[in-house]
Each structure stands twice: as structure tokens, then as C-alpha cells.
Amino acid sequence: MIVSKDPNEVRSQILSWKSEKLSVGFAPTMGFLHEGHSNLFVRSAGENSKTVVSIFVNPAQFNDPEDYAKYPINTEGDLEICKSSQVDLVFLPDKDTMYPGGIPEVELRIPHLMKNLDATTRPGHFEGVLLVLSRLFHIIPADRSYFGKKDYQQYLIVKDFVKALGFPMEIIGVDTIRSAEGLALSSRNARLTEPEKEEALLLIRALRLGESLIKQGEKDPTEVLTVMRDVLDSSSKIQTDYLEVLDANTLGELPILKGEILLAVAAFLGQVRLIDNLTVKGS
């Protein structure tokens, strides 16, 4: 496994592979890797000749400097996970490599997908995501790039971004990996106590109850939202950031539940912010 901090070296290696007609898969990450990440890597390895992973905690996508400062880092452990997950190359840039001269004052937006959910509760977040990805996609001209659907809004935005700007790359969404109890795996889970992890299971319970109602034929989004919110409100420790029932393709509101539906939640447990979602087909 190649490990490099040099963007020119990384790009040169990838272009060399592609000149040999080898396909390249890419998974951008912020490190502190877990089974959800390794699932992306293994998926890429199964669909491409070579797999590349980047590990970079991107300051441009944090609207809270404290959250950025607290983001967990375990580079040694990350490299072990990459090695055991069939990764061929790891790009390990620092802030000066990614943003020489500082974070540029450039704002990248996909307005129709950035009107709700994390785009409004975390202003500047997706602009920062698109900024770092625009740089990474130039350094790593992969054939396919892999994103977990736990960050469902991000997946849709990146897919539209790549299409709009003409990056010759396919964006692949990969289903959320969960613990045996149902908790969506996240690097932020490391900051939860064991009792808080138990409490966090209310997020998936709320979503699954909403899913069940829709599968039973419920057409009123207000009714589904009310039932899901009651689950979250049963805990005094959970502070709901948002809870939405939306069109899974456009993130638009649904007056009547039909087609592909996204149930999405973000909530705080203490200082830790968690997100989760389910997609369900309305009858």
C-alpha cells in the first residue's frame, strides 16, 4: 500500500494506473475510520482495479471551530484499516497542502439541494465539502467515487456537483452500516458514553416507526412526523436539530407521501451531533 502526502506524486501514480487501462475507485474520508468506511473501500476494491483513500479533516466544512478541534484522529489505526480493506494508495495531505495560502474565498453551491436539512442547520458546511472535493477530484481523477448514504444530502449534492461540472467520474452511494443494535456507525460515536449510545438508538427507532407507518399506507407527512417526534421527545437528553419527511430525489416537501421518500433526523446528545436517515417507497 502506497502512503503519500504529495498531491503530485498521488496524481502521477493514478494517471500511470489509468494509462495501463486500470480502473480507479476513490473514497474521500476525514479519518478515524470504522467499519462503515471499510465497507466503502471493499466495495471499491470489488469494482475497480485500484482503490485510493484520502484522509483529511477538512476545516472548510466545519461551521463550529470547536467541533473541528475535537474531531478524533487516529492515523496509525486508519492506515491499518486501509491496509486490511484492500486499499492501494492513501493520500494524507495536511491543511497547507490542500489550501496553500489559506482557505480560498470561493463559494460552491447546488441551491436546489441546499435549502434544508444540514445546509440550513450547518451553514457553510456543504460549501466546504464541495471546495475540498473539487481539489481532491483534480488530484485523484478516479473513475468512481464512493460516499456513504448516512450523509444522504451530501451524496445527492456531490452527485449533482460532479454532473454539473463535468467531472468524468461516477458517484456511488453505499448503504449505511449499523451496529447490531441499529446505531448508524459514525466517527462521532467515539465521543458518546455507553448510556448515550443507548439513548442514540431512539433515532433509528423513530425512523423505523415512520417507515412502518408509510409501508402500512400512511399518506400524511404530518402524521408520520408527529409519531417520529414523539419517540425523540421521550428522551430528555436528545435535542432534535431537524426531523424531516422529504422527496428522496429532490429533497423537496411532499404534501402526500408517494414515490421515494427520505426520513431524515439530526439530533444532539450532549455536545455530539448525530445524523441518520432511511429511504422508503410510498405506496
Binding residues for ATP: 30-37, 148-151, 177, 185-188
Cell of 156: 445527492
For residue 32, the one-letter residue type is F
Instruction: Describe the crossing of helices 152-165 and 125-139 by its angle, rounded to 10 degrees.
Output: 50
For residue 213, the one-letter residue type is L
Q: Please report, in range form, the residues annotated as the binding site for beta-alanine.
A: 61
For residue 161, the one-letter residue type is F
Whole-angstrom distance, CA of residue 145 vs CA of residue 172: 6
Kindly name the residue from 37, 112, 125, 138 that is annotated as catalytic: 37
> Nearest to residue 33, comparing CAs of 67, 4, 75?
75
Q: Please report, in range form, the residues annotated as the binding site for (R)-pantoate.
A: 61, 154
- Long-range interactions of 44-48: CB distance < 8 A, separation 24+: 44/144, 44/146, 45/85, 45/86, 45/87, 47/23, 47/144, 47/172, 48/23, 48/24, 48/142, 48/143, 48/144
- Identify the residue whose cell numbers are 449534492: 157
Cell of 39: 465497507
> Nearest to residue 203, comparing CAs of 276, 278, 273?
276
> Can you state the percent helix, strand and coil of the chain, rounding each to 5?
45, 20, 35
Catalytic site residue 125? no
> Nearest to residue 154, comparing CAs of 262, 82, 69?
262
Q: Please report, in range form, the residues annotated as the binding site.
A: 30-37, 61, 148-151, 154, 177, 185-188
Calculated CA dihedral for residues 11, 16, 22, 27, nearest 10 degrees: -10
Residues with active-site annotation:
37
